[in-house]
């Protein structure tokens, strides 16, 4: 960006100061140009200068050796009059676009240009077909896997999950997973939606199942003790975890045996 310097000399006389500009004729500058004005005066303050130059953006202002050095600029086109005391100066701010002169008329060509590379729709179609095939295969595999998992008996699924969890007994979420596996087992076995419910809500839900009548107090006690270990932040030893793990497996086994006997009676 251009930087222009314009010196304004203010002459002091006796007890008062009458500022005068070195020249009052218009000076041409362009939008964004930084103009530096040197103003010698003992009576002017920085606040007064800011008021005089309120139509401009003051970039910098310094006062050294009784002289102000003010750098300013504007991005608005027009003629600005600066008056300090009985002195006046005009600054004409022009746009750089006005300097561009075009005397000739430029005409574009009417010929249609061929793109630099052809767009192969066949390639796009083949790629889309491959992506569609992979996506369909992935979804189909997921459905088959899900259906296969649903065909497993809830008790068998519970045992498989619990045995895999035993190898991670030191995991902080051990009881979280173990409780989830048990809820999923009982919910699928008796067609109940108990996942996401509290222990008291689960016990209330299971009271309607007659087959669990004598085991319900043990299940309730196990759930309450498990909640205490999950939510109080106490440290639980591996031996205590194994004890609760074995008790839950025993409960699941008794529930499964009762269900098998019930199926034999009905058949």
Helix (H, G, I), strand (E, B), or coil: what is residue 170?
A: coil
Give me the residues paired with residue 92 across strands. 28, 79
DSSP assignment of 121-161 = HHHHHHHHHHHHHHHHHHHHHHHHHHHHHHHS-HHHHHHHH
- CA separation for the pair 110, 114 (Å, rounded): 13
Contact 31, 95 (CB under 8 A): yes
Cα radius of gyration (the chain): 44
Low-confidence ranges of the chain (pLDDT < 50): 1-26, 106
Q: What is the DSSP letter of 16?
A: E
pLDDT for residue 155? 92
Neighbour-count burial of 247, counting CB atoms closer than 10 A to its CB (0-12 exposed, 13-18 middle, 19+ buried):
middle
Indicate the SS3 state at residue 86. coil
CA distance 51 to 43: 15
In the chain the domains, ranked by start, together with CATH numbers, are 3-96 (2.60.40.420), 152-262 (no CATH)
pLDDT at residue 141, rounded to an integer: 61
| CA-to-CA dists, residue 196 to 150, 179, 209, angstroms | 20, 11, 19
On average, the pLDDT of the chain sits at 76
Q: Which two tokens stand for residue 259?
A: 């269900």
pLDDT value for 7: 42
CB 253 within 8 Å of CB 209: no
Neighbours of 65 (CB within 10 A): 5
Listing DSSP states for 26-67 in one string gives -EEEETT-EEEEEEE-SS--HHHHHHHTTTSEEEEEEEETTE
pTM of the model: 0.44
Q: So what's the pLDDT on residue 185? A: 92
The pLDDT value given to residue 251:
92
Structure tokens at 102: 């075009």
């Amino acid at each position: 960006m251009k930087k222009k310097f314009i010196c304004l000399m203010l002459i002091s006389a006796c007890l008062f100061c009458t500022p005068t500009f070195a020249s009052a004729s218009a000076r041409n500058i362009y939008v964004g140009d930084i103009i530096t004005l040197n103003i010698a005066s003992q009576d002017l303050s920085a606040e007064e200068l800011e008021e005089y130059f309120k139509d401009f953006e003051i970039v910098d202002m310094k006062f050294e050796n009784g002289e102000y050095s003010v750098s300013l600029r504007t991005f608005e086109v027009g003629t600005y009059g600066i008056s300090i005391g009985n002195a006046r100066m005009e600054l004409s701010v022009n746009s750089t676009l006005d300097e561009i002169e075009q005397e000739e008329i430029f005409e574009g060509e009417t010929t249609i240009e061929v793109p630099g590379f052809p767009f192969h729709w066949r390639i796009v179609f083949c790629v889309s077909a491959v992506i569609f095939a992979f996506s369909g295969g992935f979804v189909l595999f997921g459905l088959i896997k899900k259906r296969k998992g649903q065909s497993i008996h809830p008790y068998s699924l519970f045992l498989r999950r619990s045995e895999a969890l035993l190898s991670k007994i030191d995991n902080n979420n051990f009881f979280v997973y173990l409780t989830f596996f048990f809820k999923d087992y009982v919910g699928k076995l008796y067609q109940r939606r108990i996942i996401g419910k509290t222990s008291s809500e689960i016990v209330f839900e299971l009271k309607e199942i007659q087959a669990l009548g004598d085991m319900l107090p043990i299940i309730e006690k196990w759930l309450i003790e498990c909640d205490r270990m999950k939510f109080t932040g106490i440290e639980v030893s591996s031996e205590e975890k194994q004890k609760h793990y074995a008790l839950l497996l025993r409960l699941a086994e008794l529930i499964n045996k009762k269900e098998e006997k019930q199926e034999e009676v009905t058949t």
